[in-house]
Amino acid sequence: YESGIGRGMGFRDSNQDTLGFVHMVPEKVKQRIIDLASTQFEEGDAHHQYSPLTKKGRERGYSDDHLWLIYSVAEYIKETGDTGFLSEKIPYNNEKKGTLLEHLEKAVDYSVKNTGPHGLPLSGFADWNDCLNLRGPNNKGESVLVAQMLVLAAKEMSALLKFVKEPNKAARYDEIAEKMSKRINEVAWDGAWYVRAYDDNSNVVGSKKNKEGRIFLESQGWAVMSGVAPEERAIKTLDSVEEHLATEHGVILQQPAYSDYHKSLGDVSSYPPGLKENAGIFCHPNPWVMIAECIAGRGDRALWYYKAILPPSKDPDVRRVEPYIYCQMVAGRDHPDFGEGKNSWLTGTSAWNFVAVSKYIIGIRPDYDGLVVDPCIPEKWEGFRAARKFRNAVYDISVDNPGHVSKGVSSVKVDGKFIEGNKL
């Protein structure tokens, strides 16, 4: 569907893809991270695409790209314990070099420095949603998603720095996360969900005040994933996703679809209603809702969302693509082909869905100092058994659920002995 190598590979997508295979080939992930970080600008932002053959980057001006590097590095170190990687010198896109830690620090600084009238990060040409193009002559478009990403990135930095015994540096990131969370809750809460952005004239996008594009998936999933949403708002926001965006074929990106082109919104409003970013069921961000549901403790819903886009669980006469591969998008309910898959293979869904199902539903996830077991499963499950290889040991994990709860670990035994907490 795309010329692939002609255009290069996405900086953001490649970082996210590592989340899905870091447990299998960590050495390859390390190399990929080095290649990606080498296309970062010294100012902290990054090239939008890079070519794996020439290792050169191209295009600039997206507001989210650089932040994805923080998650890929954090997950790599949680998986491997390779904290020495942080001091490795890696080039920027010029002749200069900095340690990997400096690359990450610059990435956060870039988003902290480049904010707009509401104190939220500028949207640039686009954020994760390539087609929400809010930048105009005033350069005032702001992204709530990037603000939420910044909060999680700052929290990841803090946890990492505490682990490598740099508490003073960590404190600065705690402060960034706290300040930005507060800001988001002040300027982006819409009563039942989080707005998506502000355009170049500071008009709100993704609000009940809008006629179309009133609610977007991304800023709901990330409100919960980043911990920005206090508990009551987290539940409300996820209930709003269920009410307005959930379908039997997956979660729609935004509703209602745009029926006309709006220059102030860009490409998102140029697609036919129900396709691509204009209210298609974009599969890549669906797992963000699953993860958020797990954080909220609602395992039945998390698994329901998982199955809604899972290729083999779909009717092949409706989905009409290979029954073993994720699609970039499934036509949304505003389109006559509702439920039909489009652009199979061309998607970042696999990695994120693997993260959602293995690290949040099954709930086995590496942390810097151990393997966390924190399942969020449907209540009726009796339990499950899983094997997880982690840092040269294989953990044979049996989960029993006699109380039929979704979440919450009451006790853990390792080799016959009870331990404190749920980290092995």
By CB under 6 A, tell whether 62 contacts ligand IFM.
no
In the chain, the amino acid numbered 146 is V
Smallest separation, CB 253 to ligand IFM (Å): 8
By CB under 6 A, tell whether 12 contacts ligand IFM.
yes
Radius of gyration of the chain (CA): 21
Residue appearing with tokens 């610059």: 106
- From the list 50, 92, 110, 128, which residue makes contact with ligand IFM (rule: CB under 6 A)? 128
- From the list 43, 88, 130, 166, which residue makes contact with ligand IFM (rule: CB under 6 A)? 130
Could you confirm whether 130 is annotated as catalytic?
yes
Smallest separation, CB 164 to ligand IFM (Å): 31
Helix/strand/coil percentages in the chain, nearest 5: 40, 20, 40
Which residues are bridge partners to 400 per DSSP? 383
By CB under 6 A, tell whether 131 contacts ligand IFM.
yes
Name the residue whose CB lies closest to ligand IFM: 130
- Given the complex with ligand IFM, which of 2 and 27 has the nearer CB atom? 2
Strands 341-344 and 327-330: antiparallel
By CB under 6 A, tell whether 156 contacts ligand IFM.
no
Provide long-range contacts, Cβ within 8 A and 24+ apart, for 412-419: 412/373
Helix (H), strand (E) at residue 175: helix 167-187
- Given the complex with ligand IFM, which of 2 and 95 has the nearer CB atom? 2
- Given the complex with ligand IFM, which of 249 and 284 has the nearer CB atom? 284
In the chain, the amino acid numbered 41 is F
Q: Which stretch binds ligand IFM (CB under 6 A): 49-57, 86-94, 126-134, 368-376?
A: 126-134
By CB under 6 A, tell whether 10 contacts ligand IFM.
yes
**Cα dihedral sign, 59-63-22-306:** negative
Binding mask 274-293 for ligand IFM (x = CB under 6 A): ---x----------------
- Given the complex with ligand IFM, which of 173 and 288 has the nearer CB atom? 288
Q: Which of 82, 130, 174, 239 is catalytic?
A: 130
Strands 412-414 and 370-373: unpaired
CA-wise closest residue to 314 among 291, 287, 340, 346: 340
By CB under 6 A, tell whether 63 contacts ligand IFM.
no
Strands 364-367 and 57-58: unpaired
By CB under 6 A, tell whether 13 contacts ligand IFM.
yes
By CB under 6 A, tell whether 267 contacts ligand IFM.
no
**Cα dihedral sign, 286-292-295-300:** negative
- Given the complex with ligand IFM, which of 161 and 292 has the nearer CB atom? 292
Residues in CB range of 316: below 8 A, 6 or more apart:
323
Residues that bind ligand IFM (CB under 6 A): 10, 12-13, 128-131, 277
Instruction: Tell me which residues are annotated as active site.
Output: 130
